[in-house]
Each structure stands twice: as structure tokens, then as C-alpha cells.
Amino acid sequence: MENITEKPTVWERLRDETRPIVLYGMGDGADKILRVFAGRGIRASGVFASDEFVRGHDFAGFRVKKLSELTAELGEDLMIVLSFASQRPEVLEKFYELDARFDLVAPDVPVAGEGLFDRDYLNAHMEEFEQAYGLMADETARRCFTDILNFKLTGEIHYLRGCETAKDEAFQKILRPDAAEHFTDLGAYNGDTIRELLSYTGGQYASITALEPDGRTFRKLRAYADENLTGDVALVNAGAWSQDTTLTFAARAGRNSALAAKGVETPMRALDSVLDGRPCTMLKLDVEGAERKALLGAAQTIRRWSPRMNIACYHRNEDLFDLPLLVHALCPGHRLYLRHHPYVPAWDVNLYAAPN
């Protein structure tokens, strides 16, 4: 991985910045970034939102303003800290326009887990990163791996644009679904990935098994299945885990949730228990930071059926090395491909695995 940058990290730049620093966006991402600011002595000078979302409200002690209002007060020579995520083309285009006009960074803060992806973190895990990088099966995956690392260190979004690929490429060249799939969807949400899969198979499949923990979302999944799916379809209102159990989360069983003493009790299932030996030819995991646990709970299924896999690889700092190494240990005959689909920050980074 000789291409990893030696430039200052995003946190080093923000710490040493003398120009005004303003946050673009509100919500959980901005809260996380401001907590890092407080711990590292970084001072924000303002918060702005897209013009249509400015309604005279406050966030984190700042009056939320339009960018034009902040530049009138602070001048054009400022640093913008992107503080929310999007994959919508029109929003991404706005990001790119701001990046061309201003000094813009998108600090990497983990969706799940603790700690920051900074130079100390990279150096502490360099051997593991090198091992995972060595498992990548093609040049596109290797480029993606180094570009994602560079983005996480610097916050510069051109690294994300440089390694984007369309999902069509992954489905058509790596996963190659067909009409005889036994598809298992862990973190099925409202059925969006099932719809995506079926668009490549002409709506055909052998069986579908889907797990979704959130009750409201599960009802949407059920409604979709009732209207569109027939035959061997099993929907389970539970999260994916290493064993069958019940866990308590501080919030809902989804993004930004965390294990806690009090909160929402959520049933969790191991895929090996759910399938109980039944076939799985394609496996998707997007379980909000529980991917390692879910893979361990699917170990027997993976070893027996060698499914092609589509695994979210961005929720935790360690996902970029930990998940490839675990998948390789479970099925050493699979080829591994890392892909980033259009999203800022580095969300929708997926690990695809397929037998030789």
C-alpha cells in the first residue's frame, strides 16, 4: 500500500486551521464531529444548511444560516466541514460544487463503534490492513482500498470520486445472480435489496430468507413481500447475530443504536439457526455494525454452501481489514472485491466475495 498519503490528516489540519471553520449540516454526524472538536481544541465558527432548510432555528448553540449569510460575515476564505451523508445525485453535485469553490473536508466518524480513524489508528493496524489489501482480487479493489484509506485520513472527497463504481458492475461481473438463487438478506430493510436482486433475475428465485429487526420497517417488508413475492419466502422480524438471543439497544435496532442496560429489547438470530441446513447461494449483510457477529452466526452456512456475498464494509473503523480477513478464513477459496458506490462520506463501501 505504498500509495497511502503522507499529507496531514483531516484532524491535524482542523487543529492547526486559522481560518473560520463552518459545519455544513446538522444531526448525528455533526454532533459526533463537534464532540471531536471539543476533545481536540478545534473551534467552529458557524453552521449552515442548504437554503431551503434554513428556518431561523438553532443547532449546537449556533443559529443555522445560509452559506451566503456566513460568507457575508466571515468572508469567502473559510473551511467547510461536511457533516452529513448523502447518495442523492443532486446533493452529491452540491458537495462537488462546494469542494471546487472552498476548502472542504468530510471528516470520517464511525457509524458504529468508538474511536477515530486517524494516523495512530492506521499505524496500529497497518499489518492487518496490509493482509486485507493482499486479499483483494483485482486492481479496482486495490485502488478502492487505498483511496478509502486516503479519504478516511484526509477527509478529501476527491478520493471517493476516484474509486466509485456502479452497482451494476458488481452484480453483473462478480455476483452474477440467476433465477435459481437461494437468497438470504440480513438487514433486509423494506425489501430494497430484494428488489435490486430480482431486477437482475427477471423476478425469478428459488427461495428468499430475509431478517429485519425494526418493527415498523419489517411491516413495510412484509407488505412488499405480500404484494410481490410468492413461493418459498421466509421473513423474520429479528436482527442478525452470532447466536439466537435477545439484546437491548439504547435506541432502535438500527443505525446509531448501541447495546445498553435499558432500552429496546430486540430478538437476534444466527443465520445457521434460521436456515438449519437449508441452501444459501447468495448472502447479503448490511446490519449496522454487526457484520462480524452476523458472519460468525452464518459460519456453518457459508462453509457448507459457499455463497456469493455482498457485505457492508464501512460501519466500523475495523471493517476494512477485519471483514475481509474473516471472510477469507471462512471461505479461503473465494475471491474478494472491495467496491465503493457513489456516497459521501465513505458509506456504501461493500465487500463482494465469490468462489473462483
Edge-to-edge strand order for the sheet containing 334-340? 233-236, 207-211, 182-186, 282-285, 308-312, 349-355, 334-340
Q: How many Å apart are CA 238 and CA 355, to the nearest integer?
A: 29
Q: How many Å apart are CA 317 and CA 292, to the nearest integer?
A: 12
pLDDT of 256 reads 44
Q: Which set of grid coordinates corresponds to residue 196?
A: 435490486
DSSP code per residue over 235-301? EE-SEE-SSSEEEEESS-SSTT--B-SSSEEEEEE-HHHHHTT---SEEEE--TT-HHHHHHHTHHH
| Mean of pLDDT values over 47-54 | 92
DSSP structure class, residue 349: E
Torsion of CA 39, 41, 42, 44, to 10 degrees: 90
Q: What is the mean pLDDT of the chain?
A: 94
pLDDT of 259 reads 61
pLDDT of 268 reads 96
- In the structure, what pLDDT confidence band is assigned to residue 7 with cuts at 50, 70 and 90? confident
pLDDT of 253 reads 45
| Mean of pLDDT values over 42-67 | 93
pLDDT of 263 reads 76
Which amino acid appears at position 312 of this protein? A
Share of the chain above pLDDT 90, in %: 89
What's the pLDDT tens digit per position in 196-237? 999 999 999 999 999 999 999 999 999 999 999 999 999 999
Q: How many Å apart are CA 20 and CA 70, to the nearest integer?
A: 10
Which amino acid appears at position 109 of this protein? V
* Backbone CA torsion sign across 24, 25, 29, 34: positive
Q: What is the CATH number of domain 10-129?
A: 3.40.50.20
| Mean of pLDDT values over 15-44 | 95
Per-residue pLDDT at 181 exceeds 80: yes
pLDDT of 203 reads 96
Q: CB count, 10 Å around CB of 228?
A: 13
| Mean of pLDDT values over 105-109 | 96
Query: Same topology for domains 10-129 and 176-312, yes or no?
Result: yes
Domain limits, the chain: 10-129, 176-312
What's the pLDDT tens digit per position in 323-354? 999 999 999 999 999 999 999 999 999 999 99
- In the structure, what pLDDT confidence band is assigned to residue 56 with cuts at 50, 70 and 90? confident
What's the pLDDT tens digit per position in 233-277? 999 999 999 999 999 876 554 444 556 667 788 999 999 999 999
Nearest to 350 by CA among 342, 191, 253, 301: 342
Q: Give the global pTM.
A: 0.93
| Mean of pLDDT values over 38-46 | 95
What's the pLDDT tens digit per position in 278-302? 999 999 999 999 999 999 999 999 9
For domain 176-312, give the fold.
Rossmann fold (3.40.50)
